[in-house]
Amino acid sequence: MSGWTAKRFWQAAQAEPCDGGFTVRLDGRGVKTPAKAPLVVPTLAMAQAIAAEWDAQTGVVQPETMPVTRAANSAIDKIVPQRAEVVALLAAYGASDLLCYRAVGPEALAERQAAAWDPLLDWAAESFGARLAVTRGVMPVAQEPEAVARLEAEVAGLSVFRLAGFHDLVAISGSLVLALAVIRGRIDVAEAWTLSRIDEAWQVEQWGEDEEAAAMEAVKRVAFEGASRFYALCG
């Protein structure tokens, strides 16, 4: 019972221990993923968050209002069967990390980027032995394979559930280093968001805010913060 096209039929959602971790039952019936796998998660806190999302549903189930459920489904249905591919995909961001590409001009923007991003690149070099090269403009800069491999090793050490949250931190920010800084506690998610949007903030300062672009940014920020929350729920 995936529930993704169903109307609410249950009275209560309950988080419970089960073989392999924790699950959510709807009036005693176990929730399953869209691929029909049992929904088994690693922590009680995550199961409780999922149960709360199911309890909040009225009428037709709306997956877009259930971010923890969707992330857990993704971990089970998508990452478990292709974990190596997901790790490689995320590691590839290290070879083209947002923090490595600076503006050709104006100089004030390049200086702002350097002041914000250089400390994190220094942190990555000190923490992981991964010194990434920096360039100006959009032409690719070659990174040392050993540096990228060391960052990949950090990603490879994450559980499938942590990978689900980490994936969105990387994909939304465009930076493997920023995402690693969040999960390692070097910066919090609010600071990471600000650091990832330096170019966008500069454009707003110069030309004013576009309502449509601002609305899209708000959606991305919610998803970014949700990814951090999901990662934390992994325990």
Q: Whose CA is closest to 193, among 119, 98, 129, 118?
A: 98
pTM of the model: 0.94
Q: What is the mean pLDDT of residues 212-227?
A: 97
Q: How many other C-beta atoms can be found within 10 angstroms of the C-beta atom of residue 135?
A: 13
Q: What is the mean pLDDT of residues 166-185?
A: 98
pLDDT band at 103 (very low <50, low <70, confident <90, very high): very high
In the chain the first and final C-alpha atoms are separated, in Å, by 27
Q: What is the mean pLDDT of residues 113-136?
A: 98
In the chain, CATH 1.10.3580.10 sits at: 81-233
Percentage of the chain beyond pLDDT 70 is 98
The per-residue pLDDT for 65 is: 94
Q: What is the mean pLDDT of residues 168-185?
A: 98
Q: Whose CA is closest to 46, among 74, 24, 13, 78?
A: 24
In the chain, CATH 3.30.2180.10 sits at: 13-65
Beta bridge partners of residue 31, listed in sequence order: none
Least confident of 57-61, 102-106, 134-138, 214-218: 57-61
Classify domain 13-65 at the CATH superfamily level. Answer: ATP12-like (3.30.2180.10)
Q: Which long-range contacts (CB under 8 A, 24 or more apart) does 201-207 make?
A: 202/109, 202/112
* CATH code of domain 81-233: 1.10.3580.10
